[in-house]
Structure 1
Amino acid sequence: MTSTLPEGRYPASTSRSVSRRTKNLLLIVVLLAGLGIAYIGYVKFSVKDIEGTALAFDLLDDSTVSIRFSVTRADPQDDAVCIVRARSRDGSETGRREVLVPGSDAREVEVVSEIRTSQPPAVGDIYGCSLKVPDYLRAG
């Protein structure tokens, strides 16, 4: 038994086609998302102007830690400042120091600095480096 639909009441075709405008809008959204992901990847993984890496630390006594770190600069002639810190066993920061890294001929330099702490230190690390050196570090 076949049923026939009355003519004129229902569309002849039941397939749904996506309009050209919807396709273009979807293409624009996908392109913008791709550009956004590319920008985030570039910012996160591109070569940085300066980078500091902790190499080693020594606990000298109950209030002093010595940290050895390397600084790599895109332009070795630029002065830099690095912030090194000491942390206690519970992870809280117990000492901090800004270290001037003067310009040199080498792209990568190693620096050793001592940090005085308010509690017995457990670890020394590098917080970060910048090419924006404060004037009070240059004056001394």
Structure 2
Amino acid sequence: MSETHATTPPSAPVFPPGRYGRRRAPGRRRPWLVVAVAVLLVGVLGLVSARLYRQYGDPNYRAEVVTYTDITDRQVVVDFRVTVPPGGAAVCLVRARSRDGAEVGHDEVPVAAAPGQRHLEVRHRLATSARPLLGEVTRCRPAA
């Protein structure tokens, strides 16, 4: 009687010949490719974050709507408070929206603080194309 083994040694898997297709030899490792992809990914993320930072503003430039009044079919008056670095200047985007959420007017409002001043109170009359429901300040960014 001959001896048979129920298990195969863990050194190499044994597949029945002719099944599962042709086996390939392990490929060469390319560490430079991994490094190149990582560098490219970091570069793209850096560009995207810089663009988002420019688009949505610097945290040193903040705006807060105090009130919006004098709403008619053609205008809204927006009172807002702006915080800038001492003596700094900013450009704030003020917009009006109608009852259905559509933008019915917008304007870029330049504001400048006196030397040493950080907080400004601003009143802006915004012309609209239809009756607005509200006035808002979407962002402030450093003046160019």
Return the TM-score normalized by structure 1. 0.59
Structure 1 Cα separation of the partners of residues 117 and 48 of structure 2: 31
2:58 maps to amino acid: K
Q: 1:50, 1:71 within 8 Å by CA — same for their partners in 2?
A: no
Tell me what 1:83 maps to: 93
Question: CA-atom RMSD, angstroms?
Answer: 3.4
**Deviation sequence 1:100-129 (CA, Å, 0-9, x none):** 312322233232223243422101012444
Distance 1:18 1:99, change over 3 A: same
* Other structure's SS at 1:121 match: coil
Secondary structure (helix, strand or coil) at the match of 1:112 reads strand
Which residue of 43, 65, 73 maps to 2:76?
65
Tell me which residue corresponds to 2:31: 23
Percent identity of paired positions between Structure 1 and Structure 2: 28
- Corresponding residue number in structure 1 for 2:123: 112
**Partner of residue 48 from structure 2, selected from 31, 37, 40:** 40
1:33 Cα deviation (Å)?
Answer: 1.2
- 1:92 corresponds to: 102
Q: Tell me the residue number matched to 2:14.
A: none
Tell me the residue number matched to 2:61: 51
SS at match of 2:42: helix
Structure 2: gaps of 5 or more residues? 5-16, 18-22
8 Å contact from structure 2 (residues 61, 90) kept in 1: no
TM-score by length of 2: 0.58
- Say if 1:44 and 1:99 are closer, same or farther in 2 by CA, change over 3 A: closer
**Paired AA for residue 96 in structure 1:** H
- Between the aligned partners of 1:42 and 1:83, the Cα distance in structure 2 is 20
Question: 4+ residue runs of structure 1 moved beyond 6 angstroms?
Answer: none
Distance 1:33 1:123, change over 3 A: same
User: Cα gap change, 1:18/1:57 in structure 2, threshold over 3 Å: closer, same or farther?
Assistant: farther
Structure 1 contact 50–129 (Cα < 8 Å) conserved: no
Larger radius of gyration: 2
Displacement of 1:44: 3.4
